[in-house]
């Protein structure tokens, strides 16, 4: 059984555009005919809100947390919400307890991997896009280990250097503890305005990660309007110039992702 191509959108720094990039990249992949499952792993549920599924955030169990604790205990029908552009596993207020509950599990970092394998077997997705919380720790470990392929949004400012260094140190140590190989597959300079500092940082990104394609998303209120409308920029009436960059990102990612055959949990 072929698995899906999995990605996580990650950077432990808050407010850099993870959720915005995750929703719009998923929208672009859908626009290109890919069958997408979106997973909101952030206990704050911003992506859940930005996909118009706020009621799911307060839904009664079984929720994403139950599914992470026992990946075979919850069915796709119970867990997956419909959205016009993609299937969605919503976050839930229960996810605030995820760290303390997951830490009790034997293979605590690999629970999302098992959950995705069983959903992929049931539903046959082309892509899984996971939106990460703004910190490193057990929840993010699950995203990193389940997907192994990182889309990294970063602001074009000098603090991003340290965030990226921290992130790569962290993924390096996860690789030593688990049977995973974690690679960046796209870097997204976000909220770019062409100042001197931003131009210098774009150069730094290119030099620091020469093999990783770099995309530039400008500062645009239209991205916030789409969020408020509950969709990506591909599903709004308004023409948004950043659609083109998200489409190029989706095309590039399609050619660079690897899809691993994975074991389906019994
Ligand atoms: N390119 C952009 N242009 C304008 N606003 C943006 C852009 N990217 C993100 N934002 C806004 O910045 C805030 C933080 O973005 P978000 O995607 O939630 O970041 P994160 O998920 O990393 O915390 C949100 O209010 C979002 O609407
Ligand atoms: Mg977010």
The yes-or-no verdict on residue 261 having pLDDT over 80 is no
Residue of 13, 224, 242 with the most ligand 1 atoms within 8 Å of its CB, for mutation: 224
Q: 3-class SS at 129?
A: strand
Longest dimension (CA), the chain: 55
Residue with structure tokens 């920029």?
Answer: 233
The predicted-structure confidence for 12-21, as pLDDT tens digits, reads as follows 999 999 999 9
pLDDT tens profile 20-79: 999 999 999 999 999 999 999 999 999 999 999 999 999 999 999 999 999 999 999 999
Nearest-atom index, ligand 1, CA of 221: 4
Domain ranges of the chain: 5-255
pLDDT (0 to 100) of residue 12: 98
- Centre of ligand 1 from the C-alpha of residue 266, in Å: 39
The pLDDT value given to residue 187: 98
For ligand 1, what atom is nearest to the CA of residue 191?
A: 1
> pLDDT > 70: what percent of the chain?
99
pLDDT tier at 2, thresholds 50, 70, 90: low
- Point out the ligand nearest to the CA of residue 41: 2
- Closest-lying ligand to the alpha carbon of 151? 1
The per-residue pLDDT of the chain, averaged, comes to: 95
Report the predicted TM-score, pTM, of the whole model to 2 decimal places: 0.97
The DSSP code sequence of 168-205 is: HHHHHHHHHHSS---EEEEEEEEEE---HHHHHHHHHH
Confidence (pLDDT) at 137:
96
The residue behind tokens 């093999």 is 211
What are the pLDDT digits (tens) for 239-253?
A: 999 999 999 999 999
Question: Which atom of ligand 1 is found nearest the CA of 190?
Answer: 1
Residue 125 region by backbone torsions, left for phi larger than 0, else alpha for psi between -120 and 50, else beta: beta
Please give the span between the terminal C-alpha atoms of the chain, in angstroms, as a whole number: 14
Q: How large is the C-alpha radius of gyration of the chain?
A: 17
Cβ of residue 133 lying under 6 Å from some atom of ligand 1? no
**pLDDT given at position 262:** 75
Q: How far is the CA of 24 from the centre of ligand 1 (A)?
A: 11
Reported as a single tens digit per residue, the pLDDT across 68-110 is 999 999 999 999 999 999 999 999 999 999 999 999 999 999 9
3-state secondary structure of 246: helix
Closest-approaching ligand to the CA atom of 21: 1
Is 5-255 in CATH node 3.40.50.300?
Answer: yes
């Amino acid at each position: 059984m072929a698995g899906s191509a999995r990605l996580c959108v990650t950077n432990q720094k808050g407010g850099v555009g993870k959720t915005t990039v995750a929703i719009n990249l998923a929208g672009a992949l859908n626009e290109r005919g890919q069958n997408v499952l979106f997973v909101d792993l952030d206990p704050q549920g911003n992506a859940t809100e930005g996909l118009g599924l706020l009621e799911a955030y307060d839904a009664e169990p079984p929720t994403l947390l139950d599914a992470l604790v026992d990946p075979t205990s919850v069915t796709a029908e119970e867990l997956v919400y419909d959205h016009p552009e993609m299937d969605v596993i919503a976050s839930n207020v229960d996810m605030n307890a995820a760290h303390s509950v997951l830490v009790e599990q034997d293979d605590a970092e690999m629970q999302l991997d098992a959950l995705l394998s069983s959903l992929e077997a049931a539903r046959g997705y082309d892509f899984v896009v996971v939106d990460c919380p703004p910190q490193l720790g057990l929840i993010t470990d699950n995203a990193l280990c389940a997907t192994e392929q990182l889309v990294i949004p970063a602001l074009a400012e000098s603090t991003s250097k340290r965030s990226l260094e921290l992130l790569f140190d962290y993924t390096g140590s996860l690789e030593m503890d688990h049977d995973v190989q974690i690679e960046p597959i796209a870097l997204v300079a976000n909220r770019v305005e062409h100042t001197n500092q931003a131009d210098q940082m774009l150069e730094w990104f290119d030099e620091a990660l020469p093999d990783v394609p770099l995309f530039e998303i400008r500062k645009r209120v239209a991205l916030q309007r789409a969020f408020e409308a509950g969709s990506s920029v591909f599903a709004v009436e308004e023409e948004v110039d950043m659609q083109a960059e998200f489409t190029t990102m989706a095309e590039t990612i399609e050619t660079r992702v690897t899809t691993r055959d994975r074991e389906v949990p019994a």
